[in-house]
């Protein structure tokens, strides 16, 4: 996996936090490779108001960003994002507009016990376990601090999702024809309202070394409901070692379509689950699809280069577990039916708000190259 980046910044020197209302600008291109989509070319633009030298967990006071990327396999993403984590005392807000196409998204059928057979992929049907998904999204989140690290959350989202069958026979085409994938939900327009509670005790939001992050969320969408709970713990036992762990679960009520079963909610942004960088590394994106989800994992991060707030280069070993629960099954904490993976990563943090992660993960069906601009959790 290759990362090429060139960055430029401009702006005055930082001022005391109370006086900060100036902005800096960053623009850079980069290239990377993924097992699923091949080579990506991307550009990142941001205009942000820095925190300065104050010891705060937020990456900045506020930021406006625009990211555009495209892959050699026909995938693309255009994301405009406005974040204000520390602009107003006691409040934080985020608004995102996004248009994306995952042109090689995984689809292996519905349920936790779906079987992968390498023999099913052949010249006449090279995309047997893949489908093209296009989404257009508008998402708003507002959080209000109640006391200490405790915040209340409210949000809304509007998302339009459509699927396109790729050439040749595929699992998605089979399920679409049989009715397992409801034709009335392809395409699907989702109107969502969300509420929840967030407890955030991390020392740094981009690259936490110690602390606890927990969230309990409830969402009501078009024809379904979603309840999500997650907790992440970060320990710093010795100078160069960080330990991280995550446990998360989700259940859905009503009649959720495939478009929403393939994602898991969070107070930040929803992510693909189960399978992929944010949920079960080493497995294909969206490898397992179901209305209930359970995720767990541990990481050991060792600093090869250690200059906090300036630069860190971390070697990471990880172990992930996850599963989905089929329609009608209760989502619960269990050791049964878990899919497992492990791997290694190399993560570079620059200054306060930049993080790049590359790595390799292996599950029972093969391995995947990994790339991220945030930690998996």
- pLDDT of residue 311 exceeding 70: yes
- At residue 54, the pLDDT reads 76
pLDDT at 351: 86
Select from 60, 320, 339 the least CA-distant residue to 204.
60
Would you say residue 10 has pLDDT above 90?
no
298, 321 contact by CB (below 8 A) = no
pLDDT at 360 over 90: yes
Check whether 126 has a pLDDT greater than 80. Answer: yes
Q: What is the pLDDT of residues 76-90, one digit of tens each?
A: 999 999 999 999 999
Per-residue pLDDT at 242: 98
Query: Taking residues 306-316, what's their average pLDDT?
Result: 93
Residue 75: name the closest of 95, 52, 51, 105 by CA: 105
Class of the domain covering 4-372? mainly beta
Distance CA 78, CA 60 (A): 22
Q: What is the pLDDT of residue 352?
A: 82
Q: Is the pTM of this model over 0.75?
A: yes
Residue 9 has pLDDT above 80, yes or no: no
pLDDT band at 13 (very low <50, low <70, confident <90, very high): very low
Rounded to an integer, the average pLDDT of 28-56 is 93
Instruction: Report how far residue 241's alpha carbon sits from residue 303's, in angstroms, rounded to the nearest whole number.
Output: 6
Tokens of 48: 């942000």
Q: For residues 308 and 177, give the distance between their C-alpha atoms in angstroms, rounded to a whole number.
A: 55
Rounded CA separation 190/26 (Å)? 34
Average pLDDT over residues 312-336: 97
Q: Is the pLDDT of residue 144 over 70?
A: yes
**Cis amide linkage into residue 58, ω under 30° from 0:** no
Give the mean pLDDT of 99-120: 97
191-250 tens-digit pLDDT: 999 999 999 999 999 999 999 999 999 999 999 999 999 999 999 999 999 999 999 999
Q: How far apart are CA 55 and CA 212, in angstroms?
A: 17
Q: How far apart are CA 204 and CA 219, in angstroms?
A: 27
Average pLDDT of the chain, as a whole number? 94
Q: Which of helix, strand or coil describes residue 177?
A: helix
Query: What pLDDT sits at residue 52?
Result: 75
Task: Give residue 8's pLDDT.
Answer: 41
| 8 A C-beta contact, residue 156 and residue 192 | yes
- Give the DSSP letter string of 85-135: SSSSTTEEEEEEEEEEEEEEEE---SBTT----GGG-BTTBTTTTEEEEEE
């Amino acid at each position: 996996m290759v990362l090429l980046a060139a960055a430029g910044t401009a702006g005055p020197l930082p001022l005391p936090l109370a006086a900060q209302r100036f902005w800096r600008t960053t623009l850079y291109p980069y290239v990377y490779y993924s097992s699923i989509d091949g080579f990506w070319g991307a550009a990142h633009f941001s205009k942000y108001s820095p925190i300065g030298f104050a010891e705060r967990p937020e990456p900045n006071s506020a930021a406006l960003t625009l990211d555009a990327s495209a892959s050699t396999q026909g995938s693309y993403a255009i994301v405009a994002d406005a974040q204000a984590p520390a602009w107003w005392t006691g409040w934080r807000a985020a608004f995102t507009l996004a248009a994306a196409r995952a042109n090689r998204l995984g689809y292996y059928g519905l349920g936790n016990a779906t079987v992968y057979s390498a023999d099913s992929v052949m010249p006449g049907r090279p995309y047997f376990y893949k489908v093209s998904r296009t989404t257009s999204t508008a998402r708003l989140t507002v959080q209000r601090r109640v006391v200490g690290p405790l915040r209340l959350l409210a949000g809304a989202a509007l998302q339009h999702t459509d699927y396109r069958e790729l050439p040749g026979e595929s699992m998605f085409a089979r399920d679409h024809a049989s009715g397992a994938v409801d034709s009335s939900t392809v395409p699907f327009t989702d109107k969502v309202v969300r509420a929840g509670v967030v407890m955030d005790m991390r020392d740094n939001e981009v690259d936490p070394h110690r602390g606890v992050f927990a969230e309990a969320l409830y969402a009501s969408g078009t024809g379904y409901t979603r309840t999500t709970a997650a907790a992440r713990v970060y320990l710093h036992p010795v100078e160069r070692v960080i330990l991280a762990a995550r446990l998360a679960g989700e259940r859905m009520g009503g009649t959720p379509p495939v478009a929403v079963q393939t994602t898991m909610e969070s107070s930040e942004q929803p992510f693909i689950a189960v399978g992929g960088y944010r949920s079960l590394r080493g497995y294909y994106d969206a490898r397992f699809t179901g209305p209930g989800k359970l995720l767990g994992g541990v990481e050991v991060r060792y600093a090869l280069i250690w200059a906090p707030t300036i630069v860190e280069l971390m070697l990471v070993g990880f172990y992930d577990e996850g599963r989905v629960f089929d329609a009608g099954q209760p989502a619960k904490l269990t050791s049964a039916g878990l899919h497992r993976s492990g791997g290694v990563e190399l993560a570079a943090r620059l200054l306060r708000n930049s993080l790049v992660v590359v790595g390799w993960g292996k599950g029972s069906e093969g391995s995947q190259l990994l790339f991220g601009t945030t930690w998996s959790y």
